Amino acid sequence: MKSVYEDNRIVLEVNTGGEYFLRSKASGTVIRIHARMDETIVTCHQGRLTPWSVNGLPAFLVSPTS
């Protein structure tokens, strides 16, 4: 995987298939984002996606599973 962005909180990588992986350094949770022509798929490895809202916009709260 190729690192696209990194700071003290997150790492963003992309694989050869065009899938993006966003990893939290604090919790270790990884979000996989795969955009296709008509949809975007978001999955989470070792984490839980909870429907959320930020400033009235749809969002997901990502928390680690034990």
What is the tens place of the pLDDT at every residue in 34-47?
988 889 888 987 88
pLDDT, residue 36, reads 84
Q: How many C-beta neighbours within 10 Å does residue 14 have?
A: 15
pLDDT, residue 8, reads 97
Mean pLDDT value across residues 2-9: 96
Residue 34 has phi, psi (to 5 degrees) of: -125, 110
State how far Cα 63 lies from the chain centre.
11
Model pTM above 0.85? no
DSSP 65: -
**C-alpha to C-alpha distance for 2 and 38, rounded to whole angstroms:** 25
pLDDT, residue 37, reads 84
